[in-house]
Amino acid sequence: MKTYGYIRVSSIDQNEDRQIIAMQNAQVPRRNLYIDKISGKDFNRPMYLKMVKKLKPGDLVYIKSIDRLGRNYQDVVEQWQFLTRVKKVDIVVLEMPLLDTRRGKDLMGTFLSDIVLQVLSFVAENERSNIKRRQREGIDAAMQKGVKFGRPAIPLPNNFSVIYEKWQKKEIPVEKAAAMCGFSRTTFYNKANEFGQKLGQS
């Protein structure tokens, strides 16, 4: 029997140290740690797939929490069943001792483990949905108050009207006009279009 640990963080900016420490405390060999820095939206993850290929019947896989395995309720349940019933490995969720397939190998133990898994997976997905909903509500409320999101608008230089007029009269090419403003050609065109519309409205 070999022991493995699977670790996932959602992006390269997130830190996996807490999960590594948890695996070390569980005495998982460092060489058997598989770390993905990728979204948990599906199971198309290079290190996870590499670990699964190595798994043999009777091996043991540790994960820190159920959401590290995945964030989609149905996918997590299906993958759990694949690992335990097809690959015939055991899984231990460190933050949830009830999810330890080494315990209760009889029909009742398996049934209870499956029920706990489905409840936790549903709770994890529901919480994620609630977080996204609260974020959306917060953004909507802020926008109603006039808060603007995204990059701040690039200010026009003080002499933009002069540059704009020279460009309109074809006295200078667009490349020179953009350079005089410190803009790219695309930005200059956008700013010139906005400026022209404001002139037309005044």
Query: Which residue numbers are catalytic?
Result: 10
Strands of 60-63's sheet in order across = 33-37, 3-9, 60-63, 90-93
> Is 146 in a helix, a strand, or coil?
coil
Q: What is the DSSP letter of 62?
A: E
First-to-final CA distance of the chain: 79
Asked whether 6 and 68 are in contact (CB, 8 A), the reply is yes
The amino acid at 93: V
